Structure 1
Amino acid sequence: MEKFKKLFNQFLDCVQTLQKALNVSFTEALVETFDNLEQGKIKVENGAPDEQTVAELSKKYQALDYDEISQKDKAQVFTFLTLKAINDDGFDVNKMPTPPAISTVIAMLMHKLVKNEKIEIVDPTIGTGILLFSIISQLKALNHSKDNYQLVGIDNDEEMLNLADVAAHLNDFDIELYCQDALMPWMCSNPDVVISDLPIGYYPVDENAKNFENRAEKGHSFAHLLLIEQIVKNLKPAGYAFLVVPKSILSGKIGADFMPWLTKKVYLKAIVELPDDMFKNKFNQKSILVFQNHGEDAKASEVLLTKLDSLKKEEALIRFNVKLNEWYTKITH
C-alpha cells in the first residue's frame, strides 16, 4: 500500500507541475502527462511548457522509471487520478464513475447471458470508460483471458473521451471512440451488447427529441428515457442491454407510462435493485435493467427480480450469485 501511495504521489506531482506550467485543467494535464510518458518525450507547443519546466519534468519522469512500472499499477494510478480530475475540475454529477461493485454484478449477468464469442459492445455514455473496462477485465478473467470483445465508446464530452482513450491503452484494450450526441444516429454499426450507466436529467435538444416516442408532451424530455429508446433502436436482433437506470423509471408515474412501452419492444430479463446505502438519498436510487431485443434466438422468460444486500458485506455478491444461478437454471431447462 505504501509503495502504491508513493507512486501515486509521484504521478500527481508530475501532473500538477505540468498543469501549473500550461495553466490548464487537471484533466488536460493528466492526459498530456501520460501521453508524454508513453511517447518518452515532453510535448512542447508554442514554447509551453518552458525550458525550466521541461528540465524539471524530465527529472521527475526519470525518477518515476515509467517503463519499469507494471501495466496494472499504471492503470490503477490513472484511475485514481481520473477520480481526482472529475472532483477538481467540477464535472457534472453524471460524469462520476460507476462504483466498482456495480461492474461486478453486470459482469456476472453478462457471463451467464451472453455467448462467449466475438461480440461488439457499445457504451453510448462511456465517460471515463471505468465501467466498461472494469466489466471487460472481469469477463476476460472469467473466460480464460480470451479477448472476444470489439469495443466502442460514445460521448459528447471530448475531455472524457481523452481520459477513456488513455485508460483503454493502459488496460490494453482496443476501442473506437466517437465524440457525438448519443441521441443522434450512431456512427458505429449495430452492437450485440450495450452497456451504460445512463446520465439522468433533461435533454436540451427539443427538436431532436421529437424523433422519439418517449418524448415529453411539454418542455424538455428525460434524456435517460430517450437513451433507452435509442439503445433499443440500435441493438442487433436478440442483442442484450445491461443498463444502470434510475429506480424511478421502473415504477410510479414514470414507470406506468414507460414500462408498458419497453415490454412491447424487448424481452425483460432482469431487474436488480441496488442497495439503498449506495445512494445519499432515495431519489438517487438506481437499479440494473437487463433486456434482450426481439430476434430469432430471443424469447420471453421469467424475469430475475431481486434486491442486492449492502455490497459492503462480501456475502452479498455470493448470495446474488446463488440467486442468479438458480434463475438461469430455471430459464434454460
Structure 2
Amino acid sequence: MEQTKTETTFGKLDQMVETMEQHLNLSYIESLPVALEFLFTHEKPEGSNDILLQQLEKLGESIALSDLSKEEIRKTIQLCVLKGMKGATQQQHLITPDTVAMFIGYLVQKLIDPKQTVRLFDPACGSANLLTAVVNQLKQKVESYGSDVDPTLIQLALMNANLQQSEIEFFHQDSLRSFLLEPVDLVVSDLPVGYYPDDVQAKEYELKADEGHSYAHHLFIEQSLKYTKEAGYLLFVIPNFLFESDQAKKLHGFLHKHAHIVGLLQLPMSIFKSESNAKSILILQKKGNNTKAPKQALMAQLPSFKDVRAMNNILEKINHWFQEEGF
C-alpha cells in the first residue's frame, strides 16, 4: 500500500517538476527544490507566469501531503532526486541507497540510549535522504544538523525536511571549514570520495597529504571526530579501498589515536555497479575517559538485502554481538 502511495505521489510530483523544467529553463534537479517549495509555501515561483502558476496549482491540489507519512514523503522525493541525478558523473551527486539508510538507522538504535535526546550531524548531507531516514527511525527527541556545499542539494535538503516536518538546521558551506556547532552525540554520513581542492585549508588537518591534494574522505572523518562529543559514535559509508590507499597508513595511525573501531560491515556487492564502487559501513567511537575498544570489532560481509533468510541470520549475529559487548 505504501509503495503504491509513494509511486502515485511521485508521478504527480514528477509531472510538476517537468512542467517547471520546461517553463523556467532549469534542469530537472534544479526544478525539484522549486517545486517542493511551491508545495510547502504555495507562493508563486520566481520567473513563473500565470499559465505556469495555474498548472502548478492544479497539480499541487492533487498531491495530498497530509495523507502521507514522513517516510512516504521522503521516498517520493528520493525517487525524484534519483531521476534528476541519472547520469550524473559527480561522486557527491549520488544518493545513499534506501536499504543502506535503513540499515544505518538500525545500527544507530543499537548504539544510542533510547531515553536520551540525541544530537545528530551529517557533514555531507546532500539532499538529506540519509539524515531524514535515520531521524525517522529514532523514537527519542533528536536535534539534527546537516551541511553541504552544493546550493541545489542544500535547498533540496531544506525542502525535504520541511515537507516531512522535521526540524533540521542546515549549513550551506564547505564542510571542511569551521562550524558554529556544539559537539554532537552522533555523526552519520555517506562520505564524498575524492580530492579536496583547497590545499591551504587542508593544512589545518592532521590527515593532510604530505604532497599534492588531500583526500576529502579522510578530512571528513577528521572533521567529524572534531565535532563529536567524547564517547560519541560515527557511522560512515566508506569506499572499500579506504584502508588500502597510498595515505591509508596515516589514516590508521590517526584513528588509533582518536577513536575505537567498533565495526566494519561490507555492503552487498549487488547494490553497486562495479567492484570499484563497492562500499562498507565503518562504525567508530570517539575516545573518552571511560571508553574502551570492543573485545572484538563487529566484522561482517552483508548478504543481499533481498535474501531474507541470509539477512535474518546476519541480523541475529549482529544482535548477539551487541549483547555480548554490553550495548
Give the TM-score, by structure 2 length: 0.90
**Cα separation, 2, equivalents of 1:8 and 1:183:** 34
Offset of residue 126 of structure 1: 0.2
Counterpart for residue 112 of structure 1: 110
What per-residue deviation string (whole Å, max 9, x for no partner) do you get for residues 120-172 of structure 1?
100000001111111222233xxxxx4x1100001101110111111112222
1:133 paired with 2:126, answer: no
**Cα separation, 1, equivalents of 2:42 and 2:268:** 45
- 2:270 is matched by which residue type in structure 1? D
* Change in 2 beyond 3 A, CA 1:104/1:53: closer
Larger radius of gyration: 1
**Cα separation, 1, equivalents of 2:322 and 2:6:** 40
Superposed, 1:139-218 pairs within 5 Å as 139-140=138-139, 146=140, 148-218=141-211
Worse-matched range after superposition: 208-217 or 172-181: 208-217
**Cα separation, 2, equivalents of 1:136 and 1:58:** 31
Counterpart for residue 50 of structure 2: 51
Counterpart for residue 279 of structure 2: 286
Offset of residue 328 of structure 1: 1.5
* Change in 2 beyond 3 A, CA 1:11/1:280: closer
Worse-matched range after superposition: 270-279 or 248-257: 248-257
Superposed, 1:299-318 pairs within 5 Å as 299-301=292-294, 302-318=296-312
Offset of residue 4 of structure 1: 5.0
Superposed, 1:21-40 pairs within 5 Å as 21-40=23-42
* Change in 2 beyond 3 A, CA 1:4/1:281: closer
**Cα separation, 2, equivalents of 1:285 and 1:56:** 42
- 2:219 is matched by which residue type in structure 1? L
* Change in 2 beyond 3 A, CA 1:312/1:68: closer
Offset of residue 11 of structure 1: 2.1
Offset of residue 285 of structure 1: 1.9
In structure 1, list runs of 5 or more residues that go unmatched: 141-145
SS at match of 2:138: helix
SS at match of 2:48: coil
Match of 2:44 among 42, 45, 51: 42
Counterpart for residue 86 of structure 2: 87
**Cα separation, 2, equivalents of 1:98 and 1:129:** 10
1:332 paired with 2:326, answer: yes
* Change in 2 beyond 3 A, CA 1:227/1:2: closer
SS at match of 2:257: helix
Worse-matched range after superposition: 179-188 or 12-21: 12-21
Kept in 2, the 8 Å contact 1:71–1:170? The answer is: no
What per-residue deviation string (whole Å, max 9, x for no partner) do you get for residues 11-43 of structure 1?
222222222211122233222222222223433
Superposed, 1:199-238 pairs within 5 Å as 199-238=192-231
Kept in 1, the 8 Å contact 2:74–2:133? The answer is: no
**Cα separation, 2, equivalents of 1:263 and 1:68:** 48
**Cα separation, 2, equivalents of 1:204 and 1:239:** 29
SS at match of 1:127: coil
Identity of aligned residues (%): 30
Q: CA RMSD in A?
A: 2.2
**Cα separation, 1, equivalents of 2:5 and 2:266:** 38
* Change in 2 beyond 3 A, CA 1:192/1:67: closer
**Cα separation, 1, equivalents of 2:258 and 2:124:** 22
* Change in 2 beyond 3 A, CA 1:253/1:57: closer
Counterpart for residue 103 of structure 1: 101
Offset of residue 71 of structure 1: 4.2
* Change in 2 beyond 3 A, CA 1:67/1:170: closer
* Change in 2 beyond 3 A, CA 1:172/1:57: closer
Pairs aligned (count): 322
- 1:230 is matched by which residue type in structure 2? Q
- 1:136 is matched by which residue type in structure 2? V
* Change in 2 beyond 3 A, CA 1:13/1:114: same
